[in-house]
Amino acid sequence: MINNFVFWESTKVKSLCGPYPKNFIKPEIKSDPNFVFINDPEFSKVTLYDQEGNSATVNSFVECQHYVEGGWDYNPLISNEHIYFNIIGIFTIITSLFFIYLLRKVIR
């Protein structure tokens, strides 16, 4: 179970932050209030979102990985896409039922 979790986490990190840097060693951050993320000029800035829609722009792979593993892996575009597909599906069903109702009225 732990291996699946680690794989899933690393997959999320790769998809949002990019590939792991060579010889990457994950620092022990936990909840250290004195930990300072160092800006990495080689890293392209990434904006991450949480479930409430808050955003954070990260400037290093370490910072990006830390945020993603902390739950900042929400994509508002995908969420909106699900809403649009649900609306289209409901509209299609209602429209189909309406046309079936009209056809029955005309045939009688």
- Write down the domain spans for the chain: 1-74, 76-108
**Does position 10 have pLDDT exceeding 60, yes or no?**
yes
Mean pLDDT in the chain?
Answer: 84
Q: Average pLDDT for residues 20-36, to the nearest whole number?
A: 86
Q: What's residue 5's pLDDT?
A: 43
Q: Average pLDDT for residues 56-62, to the nearest whole number?
A: 95
Confidence of residue 78 (pLDDT cuts 50, 70, 90): low
DSSP secondary structure letters along 20-72: PPTT------TT-TT--PPP-TTSPPEEEE-TTS-EEEE-SHHHHHHHHHTT-
Confidence of residue 9 (pLDDT cuts 50, 70, 90): low
Q: What's residue 79's pLDDT?
A: 56
